[in-house]
Structure formats: C-alpha cells, structure tokens
Amino acid sequence: MTQTPIRTAASSKQEQDQHLVYSGITWEQFKLIQTGFANSTGIRLFYYKETIEILMPGRAHETVSRFIGFLIGLFCLEYSIEFEPTGSMTQQREGEVSVEPDESYCFGTSKPTPDLVIEVIFTSGSPKKLQRYQALEIPEVWFWQDGVFSLYRLRDRKYAAISRSEIPELAGLDIDLLTRCVLIAKTSRLEAANTFRDSLKD
C-alpha cells in the first residue's frame, strides 16, 4: 500500500481541503474503511482501480459547491423544471467503483443513477476522476476548478468534452453566466444570486 501525503488548498486550516490518496487497496479493504467512516460527517470516499481517496472538504470547497447547487436549483425553479437534488449520495458498482460527488441531480423523474454529477476541485486528486464516473455510466459530469467549468458527456461509453449541457432540462442554462455568478459569489452571494436571477428573467 502506498500513500500520497495530505494536500491542502488554502491559507488557513478552516479553508483547507484535507486529501489523502492510498493505492494497493482491495475492494474488501475499502468496504472496511467505508464502514469505519460511516458515522463521520464531512468526509467523502472514492474508490477505483485499487485506489482510495479520502477527502475532507474545507469551508471554501463547501461554499462553492453549495452555491453552484443553489444556482442550479434557482434555474430549475425559474423554468418550472422538475428536479431531484441527490447531493453527495454514494454511487457504486460492487467490487469496482464508489464515488461521493459534491452535487448530483436527477431531472424529470427520480432515477437510480443521477443525470448529472458535479465535483468541485481544490486539489488535483486522482487522474481517474472521469474514469470512475465512466464505470458508473453517469450521463454527464461537470468539474469546477480554477474558476472554470469543464463539462463532459458520456457517448459510446466514453466522455467527450462539451461546451453546454446536453441534458434536455438544462439546454437553456448559460454556462458562461453560471461561471460568472460563481465567481461573483467569492465577494457577494447576494449579488451573484441577483445577477443570475435577473439574467434568467431577461
């Protein structure tokens, strides 16, 4: 078993993401670790190809994640879109992969597998991020990193980069507007929410 040291992402402890990566872990070992963290709040576990990531998101991470979720919810409400926010609900395929994204959603109707998952990245983490969602056949994955959204759509079991969502319910969502408002939120959540809402009305 090998370990990648803790990585941190900001100047103060309260802001920092704590991030551990271990390789050479069997599925059985992962399940024991998962059980051990069952009653721990604020910890997310990822597993794929004998590698486990343990992420303890800091305040900045959680603030960005929740605000992105808030804006998507606002968009759905404005356009009367039925949606189910499933948050960091564990998605797994027995013996192979397990993930806990920052945000996830079903649109239209509730489904066993979400239509969209979103990860906020403050540390580099595993290069297998897309691969593990591919193994779960998640239709669409968004990453927020360094002030930019990267969107991917599953096609023929492989992800292709896209510039806007291909989920029918989100076809009218302007990713540039969403990006701008998430950046505005660094200084004012109220201003960001009002900018987003006013743009939707226009």
Domains of the chain: 59-201 (3.90.1570.10)
For residue range 72-128, list pLDDT tens digits in order.
999 999 999 999 999 999 999 999 999 999 999 999 999 999 999 999 998 765 567
20 torsion bin: left (phi>0), alpha (psi -120 to 50), beta (else): beta
For residue range 143-160, list pLDDT tens digits in order.
999 999 999 999 999 999
- What residues have CB less than 8 Å from 22, skipping those under 6 apart? 1, 2, 3, 4, 51, 52, 54
pTM metric for this prediction: 0.89
**Are the CB atoms for 118 and 102 separated by under 8 Å?**
yes
**pLDDT band of 54, cuts 50, 70, 90:** very high
**Are the CB atoms for 101 and 88 separated by under 8 Å?**
yes
